[in-house]
Amino acid sequence: MTKSRKSTTNFSSTPPPSFPNTRMRRNRKEPWVRNLVEENRLSTHDLIYPVFIIEGKNRREKIDSMPDVERTTIDILLKTAENALEQGIPALALFPVIDSDKKNITGKEALNSKNLICSAIRELKKTLPEMGLICDIALDPYTIHGHDGIVDVNGKVINDETISMLCKQALVQAEAGADIVAPSDMMDGRIGAIRTTLDKNGFQDTSILSYAAKYASSFYGPFRDAVNSKNLLKGDKKTYQMNPANSDEALREVALDIQEGADMIMVKPGLPYLDIIQRVKENFAVPTFSYQVSGEYSMMKAADKNGWLSYEQTMMESLISLKRAGSDSIFTYAALDAARIIKNNI
């Protein structure tokens, strides 16, 4: 009979003292150690709070697709802005909700120096001059077709005629007191044209935040509800916003806008485009912003309502992931919630 071989493996032996030499868990053992080695930290100074403004006095309107986000009149917005400042949030991004009787095919209300957005800028600057104001440059809130630019008889958004309007829109907002104008339209060449217009009119210090890599995303639906443009939109925006499949193209867009005078760059949406944020930051080393858009926010809120996820935990995790990818600042509808959590955890 053949003898069975005796196993040489000694499962009861203790690992030598040197095994393993590197224990990654040592840097995770206590909260204070985790804080010491934390590579990325989210601050209230990284947050920008987008707000929706409506006409009138002492009015609030709920947005069904964006839980806990409201459209408010300017007088209420002043209180919101004061609260944001107290929480350490340095800037608001202003989005007007324009009454239908002020919309037309060219969006000319955008050029009215007494329009809703300019009135809001003046009131905010008069009451809270230290609050930074970032103002959207695009025609979609003002048009009856919901596009970001002027359309021809065939419904095509035409580039150069739109740029002329955007330059005038940027100028009236700068005159009202906007600190940063933020072209979100994705027309070719608009950054250089707006920079020239601002400089010629004495607004050399007005910054430009370019939505350089704005994708034709499905995550914008609740925002379009908020500004009442969803049901107006004819077709889609794929002829001027970027294809979600492309990343090299984003770098070309960013390079062009930097050459034309952009001070800061936006990648939008945020979480589905972490790779774009990282590539932009690594390739250009410019101030890089991201936008946690309405669809991202609303998904977390809906999941929390159904008990599937924690809104606060997923929101904070998504914000730190945007920071980790390379975002210097983040537009988020959760800014007030995030600021509260950050301050409570300090």
Q: Which amino acid is at 344?
A: N
State in Å, rounded, how far the first CA of the chain is from the last one: 73
77/75 Cα distance (integer angstroms):
5
Q: How many domains does the chain have?
A: 1
Q: Which positions ≥6 away from 271 have C-beta within 8 Å?
A: 292, 296, 318, 321, 322
| Count of C-beta atoms within a 10 Å radius of residue 301 | 22
Alpha-carbon gap, residue 237 to 252, rounded angstroms: 19
What is the distance between the alpha carbons of residues 49 and 137, in angstroms, rounded to a whole number?
17
- State the Cα–Cα distance between residues 289 and 276, nearest whole angstrom: 11
The answer as to whether 23 is a domain residue is no
Rounded (10°) angle between helices 159-176 and 116-127 = 30
9 in any annotated domain? no
Is residue 5 a part of any domain in this protein? Answer: no
Domain range for 155 is: 41-345
Q: What is the pLDDT along the chain (346 residues), one digit of tens a residue?
A: 444 444 455 555 666 666 778 888 889 999 889 988 889 999 999 999 999 999 999 999 999 999 999 999 999 999 999 999 999 999 999 999 999 999 999 999 999 999 999 999 999 999 999 999 999 999 999 999 999 999 999 989 999 999 999 999 999 999 999 999 999 999 999 999 999 999 999 999 999 999 999 999 999 999 999 998 877 888 899 999 999 999 999 999 999 999 999 999 999 999 999 999 999 999 999 999 999 999 999 999 999 999 999 999 999 999 999 999 999 999 999 999 999 999 998 6
Alpha-carbon separation of residue 221 from 81, 147, 149, 208, 261 (angstroms): 25, 14, 19, 26, 31
Q: Which residue has the tokens 């359309």?
A: 151
Query: Which residues are part of the catalytic machinery?
Result: 214, 268
Contact 196, 183 (CB under 8 A): no
**Is the residue at 194 inside a domain?**
yes
Q: Where are the alpha helices (DSSP H) in 1-100?
A: 31-36, 74-86
How many residues can be counted in the chain?
346
Instruction: Judge whether 53 and 116 are in contact, CB under 8 Å.
Output: yes
CATH of the domain at 68: 3.20.20.70
Residue located via tokens 């080695």: 37
Task: Count Cα atoms within 13 angstroms, Cβ side, for 193.
Answer: 18
Which amino acid is present at 43?
S
| Beta strand extents in 146-262 (DSSP E only) | 180-183, 207-214
Model pLDDT, residue 13: 63
Pairing of strands 132-137, 70-72: unpaired
Is residue 22 assigned to a domain?
Answer: no
8 A C-beta contact, residue 95 and residue 134: no
Task: Give a yes or no: residue 26 inside a domain.
Answer: no
Whose tokens are 């509808």? That residue is 333
193's torsion region: left (phi>0), alpha (psi -120 to 50) or beta?
A: alpha
